[in-house]
A and B are shown apart, each in its own frame.
Chain A
């Protein structure tokens, strides 16, 4: 295994995993076209961690300094032990957040979460129109989401809405914000699609044009000025349209730790796409070793692994060369500059995607929805015409 950054110095990390994301299951009743779960998630639906293993992981991560806990998936509510996980999180002093599509949230469960000490619930919404909600999620969930939103509010929870933005709903930003206001949202995150997993496979269908994004941002700013502090609105700018890449996860192994359904411990959601990496698993040596000493977590800490032009770039501390997964998925080289950067020798790949987004009819292929069936197909090497452009998709 190639380990460039596994010297003595790398073992002395003073970083703490302040954010712990528990992706407790990859099972999900929805089939979102923009889902960033791995396309081969079907492999990991049979070997989920037990309740006891999750509780142990929570305890170990807390000792390492974890504070913010996201309980996510897939759809976490497909597990019937979220109540137990919530109680333990409260006991340990986490600020806990359930990230849900709303499917499976009942009065009984939300009451148990409240009593157990869950701090907030983040609900995903998709559009103001039933058609687009149902189309993009490939399910009939529109009415249900509105009901769940009311339930969250009734139980005294802050209303945190997350709306993934793509070409099908970007024209409705104003209406989406109005809906959020009417529902009494306290926080709204307009998250432009990032292209990993299923959303990368469906990029030609999902990616809006630069003009659409600029327009959406302008409307968002106007709305924000109008509502003030009452509703906090975050507009997450898509990195494809920036000059410089994002400082992905705020740095590899710096503040984020993800434990996946089968116990793999990752520095970011999509890290498993990277080649020649062996990620630690909570079932082996535990979280402290995973965070501090595992070769995988140390591999891209610091900057000694960087190549030109990043290695000598005066801006390298700002973005740490961007996202390793994006670099690999689009260029085949995980250590190259994130192609989003205009200084990257591979930047033309991004420019082409942006150009293609101007002529969506010419480029768009049918959506591959996130379903067990499609995941199995991709694992079996089918759908090659859709995945061949991107590295690391099986």
Chain B
């Protein structure tokens, strides 16, 4: 199932989930009851910007500025939002 992500959508980390940097693993993780997920570099960079303030469009713009050499980064970012929403790591605020 594809969730349709809009540029104007604003997301936050889902209730009862915590997103944090892990020094010992050198990666970002999401923690929730009975589980955890280690995020790869790209996924961590996206979720780091998901703060309940920025819209999806702003996240895309910010990452395009940070990684100007990555081709078609927007597609990857939207796919990441889609995955995170499907896994219920995110909640929609607007």
Contact = CB atoms under 8 A, between A and B. Distances in A.
B5 interface: no
Nearest to A157: B16
A25 interface: no
Given A16-B24, A93-B20, A120-B16, A67 B29 contact: yes
A107 to B, nearest CB: 21
Highest count of chain B CB atoms <10 Å: which of A95, A157, A158: A95
Contact of A64 (B20, B24, B35): B24
Nearest to A19: B36
A218 interface: no
Nearest to B20: A93
A68 B31 CA distance: 8
B33 A158 contact: yes
Contact of A158 (B16, B25, B29, B31): B16
Nearest to B21: A93
B33 A120 contact: yes
A95 B18 contact: yes
Contacts, number: 43
Interface string A68-97: 100000000000000000000000010101
Contact of B36 (A68, A158, A160): A68
Highest count of chain A CB atoms <10 Å: which of B31, B32, B34: B34
A318 B46 CA distance: 33
Contacts of B25: 16, 65
B15 interface: yes
A229 B87 CA distance: 9
B51 interface: no
Contacts of A234: 34
Interface string B1-43: 0000000000000011010101011000101111110000000
Contacts of A195: none
B61 interface: no
Interface string B54-91: 00000000000000000000000000000000001000
A95 B36 CA distance: 9
Contacts of A160: 33-34
A187 interface: yes
Contacts of B31: 67-68, 95, 119
B28 to A, nearest CB: 12
A157 B22 CA distance: 24
Contacts of A97: 33-34
Nearest to A122: B33
B15 A158 contact: yes
Nearest to B87: A229
A18 interface: yes
A347 to B, nearest CB: 31
B24 A189 contact: no
B22 A67 contact: yes
A186 B16 CA distance: 10
A63 interface: yes
Nearest to B88: A229
Given A63-B24, A93-B20, A119-B16, A18 B34 contact: no
A143 B28 CA distance: 42
Contacts of A189: 34
Contacts of A158: 15-16, 33
Contacts of B35: 68
A277 B34 CA distance: 30
Nearest to A97: B33
Contacts of B29: 67
Contacts of B16: 119-120, 157-158, 186
Contacts of A122: 33-34
Nearest to B15: A158
- Interchain residue pairs A-B with the least CB separation, the first 8: A65-B24, A95-B31, A158-B16, A120-B33, A160-B33, A158-B33, A187-B33, A229-B88
Interface of B: 15-16, 18, 20, 22, 24-25, 29, 31-36, 88
6 contacts: A67-B29, A119-B16, A122-B34, A157-B16, A158-B15, A186-B33
Given A95-B31, A158-B16, 18 more contacts: A16-B24, A16-B25, A63-B24, A65-B22, A65-B24, A67-B22, A68-B35, A68-B36, A93-B20, A97-B33, A97-B34, A119-B16, A119-B31, A122-B33, A157-B16, A187-B33, A187-B34, A189-B34
